[in-house]
Amino acid sequence: DAMVIQNPRYQVTQFGKPVTLSCSQTLNHNVMYWYQQKSSQAPKLLFHYYDKDFNNEADTPDNFQSRRPNTSFCFLDIRSPGLGDAAMYLCATSIRGTNTEAFFGQGTRLTVV
Binding site for other proteins (CB under 8 A): 31, 33, 41-43, 45, 48, 50, 55, 88, 90, 92, 94, 96-107, 109
CB of 16 to other proteins, least distance (A): 26
CB of 42 to other proteins, least distance (A): 4
CB of 68 to other proteins, least distance (A): 13
Smaller CB separation from other proteins, 12 or 17: 12
Smaller CB separation from other proteins, 31 or 78: 31
**What is the per-residue DSSP string for the chain?**
--SEEEE-SEEEE-TT--EEEEEEESS--SEEEEEEE-TTS--EEEEEEETTEEEE-TT--TTEEEE-SSSSEEEEEESS--GGG-EEEEEEEE-SSTTSPPEE---EEEEE-
